[in-house]
Structure 1
Amino acid sequence: SPVTHHNVARLFSATDHWFGFDESDVWTLFHSYAFDFSVWELWGALLHGGRLVVVPHLVSRDPAAFLGLLADEGVTVLNQTPSAFYQLMAADKEHPGRELALRYVVFGGEALELGRLDDWYDRHAEDASTLVNMYGITETTVHVSYIALDRESAAAGSSSTIGVNIPDLRVYVLDAYLQPVPPGVTGEMYVAGEGLARGYLGRHALTAERFVADPFAHLFGERGSRMYRSGDLARRRPDGTLEYFGRADH
């Protein structure tokens, strides 16, 4: 789906108050550029004048070697799918004592099992690095939501916790009639705001099906704007945070 340069630039400006990335950060390009997570990795480094370490393919498939790279290169921002991070945690347990410079570990791409993070917190001080869970969709430019974790919240939280929306995005939880459901009730997530792609290249019918008119746009001073139908189920907690419950079509 066509994603503009503006979409990527605003992704970082809209999340800067959470992260404060700068020229001292060292990032890894761990993922294939066919995976939208790589957009965050690549431009997170370059837009802030930081350093980007391109991870060799064989190293990316060898958790112990990747752990060594993180230590040797002084990586400060690591982006991982949860399944890859679980393997990295196992390597970290088997090879203790590697000094890591991580400021942030950002999860995306799949559901995070919060209960499995205890093993990491057992070996790393909570103030050494912040673990962050971000739900995202390619069609809304990589990330949609954010929640910073700590040992207590990871132990007490639901594995489906995905946090709050990025400030320049709106997340609606709607029923089959596009009406908002009350907090605590499961509905389908729709995303509106600055991050939406223009549509699917050359697929007009699919674009019309997934990018639909936003019936709430007038409440935000907008006219004729669209929202993206995610196909994902969620519910909003009383505190405003979101819980993710998988695909609506499963």
Structure 2
Amino acid sequence: HLLTDAQIEELSKVDVTPDSISHIVFTSGSTGTPKAVQIRHRNFMAYMETHVIQTNDIVLQFTSSSFDSHLDEINGALVRGAQLVALKNGGHFDFDYVTKTIYDKKVTYIGPVPSWLNALGKFLNENHHAQQRVKSVRCWYLGGETLLSSTIIQLLPFVDEQSRFFNLYGPAEITVVATCHEIRREELSTTVSLPIGYPLIGYCIYLLDEYRQPVVPGQLGEIIIGGEPSAFYYE
């Protein structure tokens, strides 16, 4: 329900500092029990400094709120002053509906997982009436799964030649994303699995062995992430 003027006035008295908690997200639990990660305002704002959303963007609110990447879409659009387009419940599973929404609303930014993008490419290949619907998208912000070149290749006939594709990586503990690789079209013919790229501004990445020592080129290691956007407290 809508807040009353008195409630808004009361909220305005709350003292918020950079170290105040902005929001809490849970890890996937892939290594055990899901953990609550406390993201501070300074973590989130440091991350937003790296973001590609621009004021004139129209952002598709695509991701479920159970995934931390929905913060990119909702808070990212609000912080940047962009427009936000919300889908109906479960709308991202209806490719005819979602592509028509992209076309009608002139969406410029979308952040799906690669498996969804792969399914979108197949839908567009099989449905001629929808093949012009995603040309407004200037930025495809992809992450959460391994991204194959074949996924991008099958989509290229249906996107604007100036559109940009990004492959991203980052667990919940680092706010949303820690690394980014902008995909060049010329690399698609020579690469099967696309790289996750380099650290975003404010992040640092280390590849360490079991003794927490840096690995040498070609040696397997564990990714350790640090930097201002990284959360520092589990519950």
Q: Identity across aligned pairs (percent)?
A: 29
Contact 2:202 2:228 in 1 (8 A): yes
- Deviation of 1:125 after TM superposition, in Å, equals 4.2
Q: Which residue of 2 aligns with 1:98?
A: 133
In 1, Cα distance between equivalents of 2:234 and 2:134: 44
In 2, Cα distance between equivalents of 1:123 and 1:69: 16
2:218 to 163, 184, 207: 184
Q: Which residue of 1 aligns with 2:228?
A: 194
Shift in alpha-carbon separation, 1:143–1:85, aligned structure 2, 3 A: same
- Deviation of 1:184 after TM superposition, in Å, equals 2.3
Task: Specify the SS of the correspondent of 1:80.
Answer: coil
Shift in alpha-carbon separation, 1:158–1:168, aligned structure 2, 3 A: farther
Q: Scaled by the length of structure 1, what TM-score is found? A: 0.74
Q: Which residue of 2 aligns with 1:6?
A: 42
Task: Specify the SS of the correspondent of 1:47.
Answer: helix
2:151 to 100, 116, 141: 116
Contact 1:27 1:45 in 2 (8 A): yes
1:47 to 54, 79, 84: 79
In 1, Cα distance between equivalents of 2:203 and 2:218: 21
Q: Aligned letter for 2:44?
A: V
Shift in alpha-carbon separation, 1:146–1:11, aligned structure 2, 3 A: same
2:173 to 139, 149, 152: 139
Task: Specify the SS of the correspondent of 2:166.
Answer: strand
In 2, Cα distance between equivalents of 1:32 and 1:149: 25
In 1, Cα distance between equivalents of 2:201 and 2:133: 36
Contact 1:82 1:107 in 2 (8 A): yes
In 2, Cα distance between equivalents of 1:99 and 1:88: 10
Q: Scaled by the length of structure 2, what TM-score is found? A: 0.79
Contact 1:168 1:193 in 2 (8 A): yes
Structure 1 residue 175 corresponds to structure 2 residue 184 = no
Count matched residues.
Answer: 196
Shift in alpha-carbon separation, 1:102–1:199, aligned structure 2, 3 A: same
Shift in alpha-carbon separation, 1:28–1:110, aligned structure 2, 3 A: same
Contact 1:25 1:50 in 2 (8 A): yes
Contact 2:108 2:139 in 1 (8 A): yes
Q: Which residue of 2 aligns with 1:73?
A: 105
In 2, Cα distance between equivalents of 1:100 and 1:138: 31
RMSD over aligned CA atoms reads 1.5
Q: Which residue of 1 aligns with 2:15?
A: none
2:63 to 14, 28, 31: 31
The 5-angstrom pairing of residues 146-161 of structure 1 reads 146-161=180-195
The 5-angstrom pairing of residues 205-216 of structure 1 reads none
Q: Aligned letter for 1:146?
A: C
Task: Specify the SS of the correspondent of 1:198.
Answer: coil
Task: Specify the SS of the correspondent of 2:119.
Answer: helix
- Deviation of 1:122 after TM superposition, in Å, equals 3.1
Task: Specify the SS of the correspondent of 1:172.
Answer: strand
In structure 2, list runs of 5 or more residues that go unmatched: 1-36
